[in-house]
């Protein structure tokens, strides 16, 4: 009999690479997988895969924050109720919002309760930290995204680190795909940023200020801004007189990201850690691994994890992302080397 797995995540499933990767892996091993989550459109997009089932509820646009928050609360409640009626062998919660529903469902239907604890919840807020503390010891299995995060979680909750399974954010790469080669551009160097961003920690605003000083560089955004970050970035580009050099594109599906970013010259990420968060010290940014898998030279901040994983191996050049002068000098290096960002 085919084993069944139910998953839930409070994100747009159609753009959530981690959920799709894990669901696809389980389905590929013969499990029957159903994923519950949100979608950013009224109509259901094309299913990301035919190997597992996706059931989503729509959420309001980020531009209407209060209604969006309300729609998310309602959706979380509805999905948790639906979980109680769903019989499965395994109940896989991707975040704290579904811990209660997953745990209770597992108890009712005699299934296994699994917690995918890849976010550092105690840095996200008191209510999320409380939920994690209340349910983490009730999980039959715990997943994390990086050894540093797993170690911190084990210390916090008095657990054994070896009891936490590491499932990294590395993308699934087709081994038969050709390796991307780069030909130096004639003219403008096109930077590309992919993913979500918050200007409080990802200093794309300082990147724009540096671009004003360095001609011949454009920035393409296959991204979305948390809170009002996108509006701030657009306003700043206009204020600096470089709005024609900052192009905002729509999001693409996770399986299209590597192909989309590879059309540009240099990938970029200006992530900083102003509050010394553990989640950033042990960074696991999906898009950085996708940049590397796509063969993209990368221009990034000098976070310890970025330096160790991308700069030292020769896949990136790092700058102080809190310093406009440092960013501008790094951009000049990109121009001089034909965007082959290497040490």
Mean pLDDT by 10 residues, the chain (343 residues): 87 89 93 94 86 93 82 93 95 95 96 94 92 94 92 94 90 57 61 93 97 94 90 96 94 86 93 91 86 90 91 90 96 63 34
Domain ranges of the chain: 4-166, 189-336
Same fold yes or no, 4-166 and 189-336: yes
Residue 241, sorted as left (phi over 0), alpha (psi -120 to 50) or beta, turns out to be left
For the chain, how many residues are written?
343
C-alpha neighbours within 13 Å on the C-beta side of residue 150: 19
Give, in order, the Cα–Cα distances in Å from 21 to each of 142, 169, 202: 17, 9, 25
* pLDDT number for residue 8: 96
Check if the beta carbon of residue 8 is closer than 8 Å to that of residue 98.
yes
The CATH number for 4-166, chosen from 3.40.50.2300, 3.40.30.10, 3.40.50.300, 3.40.50.2000, is: 3.40.50.2000
* pLDDT number for residue 202: 96
* pLDDT number for residue 66: 84
Q: What is the pTM of this model?
A: 0.79
DSSP 200-228: TTB-HHHHHHHHHHS-SEEEEEEEEESTT
* pLDDT number for residue 103: 97
Residues whose CB falls within 8 Å of the CB of residue 251, separated by 6 or more in sequence, listed in order: 15, 222, 223, 224
* pLDDT number for residue 17: 86
For the beta sheet containing 112-116, the strands, ordered from the edge strand earlier in sequence to the opposite edge, are: 53-58, 32-39, 4-12, 90-93, 112-116, 141-144, 164-166
* pLDDT number for residue 179: 44
Q: CA-to-CA distance for 106 and 112, rounded, in angstroms?
A: 6
How is domain 189-336 classified at the architecture level of CATH?
A: 3-Layer(aba) Sandwich (3.40)
Joined together, the tokens standing for residue 119 give 């976010």
């Amino acid at each position: 009999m085919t084993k069944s797995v139910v998953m839930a995540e409070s994100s747009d499933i159609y753009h959530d690479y981690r959920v799709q990767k894990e669901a696809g892996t389980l389905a590929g091993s013969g499990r029957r997988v159903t994923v519950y989550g949100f979608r950013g459109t009224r109509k259901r997009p094309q299913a990301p895969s035919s190997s597992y089932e996706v059931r989503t509820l729509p959420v309001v646009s980020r531009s209407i924050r209060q209604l969006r928050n309300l729609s998310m609360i309602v959706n979380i409640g509805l999905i948790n109720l639906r979980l109680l009626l769903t019989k499965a062998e395994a109940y896989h919660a991707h975040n704290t919002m579904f811990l209660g529903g997953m745990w209770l469902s597992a108890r009712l239907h005699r299934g296994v309760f699994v917690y995918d604890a890849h976010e550092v919840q105690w840095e996200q807020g008191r209510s999320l930290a409380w939920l994690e503390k209340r349910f983490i010891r009730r999980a039959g299995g715990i997943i994390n995204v990086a050894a540093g995060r797993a170690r911190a979680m084990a210390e916090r909750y008095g657990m054994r680190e070896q009891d936490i399974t590491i499932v990294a954010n590395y993308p699934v790469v087709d081994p038969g795909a050709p390796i991307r080669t780069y030909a130096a551009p004639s003219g403008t160097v096109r930077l590309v940023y992919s993913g979500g961003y918050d200007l409080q920690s990802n200093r794309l605003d300082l990147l724009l200020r540096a671009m004003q000083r360095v001609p011949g560089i454009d920035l393409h955004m296959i991204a979305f801004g948390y809170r009002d970050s996108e509006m701030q970035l657009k306003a700043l580009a206009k204020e600096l007189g470089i709005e024609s050099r900052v192009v905002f594109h729509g999001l693409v599906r996770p399986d299209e990201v590597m192909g989309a970013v590879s059309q540009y010259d240099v990938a970029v990420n200006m992530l900083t850690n102003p509050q010394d968060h553990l989640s950033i010290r042990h960074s696991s940014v999906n898009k950085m691994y996708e940049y590397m898998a796509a063969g993209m030279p990368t221009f990034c901040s000098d976070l310890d994890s970025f330096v160790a994983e991308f700069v030292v191996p020769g896949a990136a050049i790092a700058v102080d992302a809190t310093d406009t002068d440092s960013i501008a000098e790094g951009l000049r290096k990109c121009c001089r080397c034909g965007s082959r960002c290497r040490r």
